[in-house]
């Protein structure tokens, strides 16, 4: 009997090894809005090389930072367009344009662009309960997993409480419904509400997927899309942003230090602050999704 059991165990391990590996490995990055049409040679990681002597820091495969680092790009030389089809006035601020569509209502601005990306990341991993955000001035999270089964938020002016009602109909966890959800979220969020779902990070621990954010009206937020390191201490990073009016999400140039552009140096911002083409941040403005 023991011999038969041993033979059966060997058979399972030898024939099912590949399946066991597939089950325990992280899924590939999914950029659902592109329907699988991603050019591996046209991503942030493949097209923007680190400065000499620098190497990309390690991030966990399948993490949000890994997903952000490998965002697909539009062809080199692409202009930044606004949601209405016009061109952004300043075309000298960007290094590359991320290949992601815009909403037709003009609500996907700087903080909402980051909300969109975080939502798309979790949607591709079928983590619908992790797609959740605050509304500005309201208590309670609006979660896509609950929205998808018909639980819709109600915004009552001058009240901090966020009410919900159950709409009739079939559950809908489709990508189209995600974009409907994001349309409602975008109309009710900004830098202040985004910051409420973030935690502050020390600049020395900067990672892809982190956010420099200044809450307010106006406020601004830019996303760290990659980080490289030279030795133990010297780090540089890439930034990308959306904007007002709603415009293509784009990787920023470093106009303050053209010699290393589009990379930004931590050493430099410790001395002068983080000066992006359209906003200045401090080292204390670095945050991360909790």
pLDDT digits (tens, 9 = 90+) for 16-57: 333 223 333 455 899 999 998 899 999 999 999 999 999 999
Q: Which residues of the chain have pLDDT under 50?
A: 1-25
Q: How many domains does the chain have?
A: 1
- Whether residue 53 is contained in a domain is answered as yes
- pTM (predicted TM-score): 0.87
Does 161 map to a domain? Answer: yes
In a domain, 15, yes or no: no
Mean pLDDT (the chain, rounded) = 88
Asked if residue 32 is part of any domain, the answer here is: yes
Query: For the chain, what percent of residues have pLDDT higher than 70?
Result: 89
Query: Would you call 222 helix, strand, or coil by DSSP?
Result: strand
C-alpha closest to that of 65 among 142, 18, 121, 10? 121
Distance in angstroms (rounded) separating the CA atoms of residues 90 and 203:
29
Q: What pLDDT sits at residue 101? A: 96
Output the six-digit token pair for 94.
């960007």
Among candidate residues 226, 279, 286, 272, the one with its CA nearest the CA of residue 90: 279
Which residues form the domain of 257?
Answer: 28-290
Q: Is residue 23 assigned to a domain?
A: no
Identify whether 78 is part of a domain: yes
Report how far residue 21's alpha carbon sits from residue 54's, in angstroms, rounded to the nearest whole number: 32
In a domain, 18, yes or no: no
Whether 21 maps to a domain, the answer reads no
Backbone angles phi, psi at 3, to 5 degrees: -65, -45
DSSP state of 255: T
3's tokens? 């011999």
């Amino acid at each position: 009997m023991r011999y038969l059991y041993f033979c059966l165990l060997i058979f399972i391990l030898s024939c099912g090894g590949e399946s066991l590996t597939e089950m325990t490995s992280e899924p590939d990055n999914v950029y659902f809005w592109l329907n699988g049409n991603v050019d591996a040679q046209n991503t942030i990681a493949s097209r923007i090389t680190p400065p000499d002597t620098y190497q990309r820091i390690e991030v966990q495969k399948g993490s949000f930072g890994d997903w952000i680092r490998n965002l697909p790009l539009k062809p080199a030389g692409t202009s930044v367009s606004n949601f209405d089809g016009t061109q952004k006035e300043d075309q000298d601020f960007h290094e590359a344009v991320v290949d992601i569509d815009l909403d037709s209502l003009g609500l996907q601005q700087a903080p909402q662009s980051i909300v969109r990306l975080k939502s798309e990341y979790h949607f591709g991993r079928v983590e619908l309960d992790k797609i959740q955000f605050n509304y500005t001035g309201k208590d309670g999270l609006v979660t896509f997993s609950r929205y998808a089964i018909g639980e819709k938020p109600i915004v009552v002016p001058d009240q901090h409480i966020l009410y919900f009602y159950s709409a009739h109909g079939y559950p809908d966890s489709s990508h189209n419904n995600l974009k409907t959800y994001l349309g409602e979220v975008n109309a009710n969020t900004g830098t202040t509400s985004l910051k409420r779902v973030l935690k502050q990070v020390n600049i020395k621990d900067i990672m892809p997927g982190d956010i420099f954010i200044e809450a307010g009206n106006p406020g601004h937020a830019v996303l760290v899309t990659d980080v490289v390191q030279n030795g133990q201490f010297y780090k540089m990073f890439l930034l990308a942003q959306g904007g007002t009016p709603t415009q293509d999400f784009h990787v920023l140039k470093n106009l303050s230090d053209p010699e290393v552009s589009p990379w930004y140096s931590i050493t430099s911002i410790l001395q002068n602050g983080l000066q992006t083409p359209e906003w200045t941040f401090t080292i204390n403005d670095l945050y991360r999704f909790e």
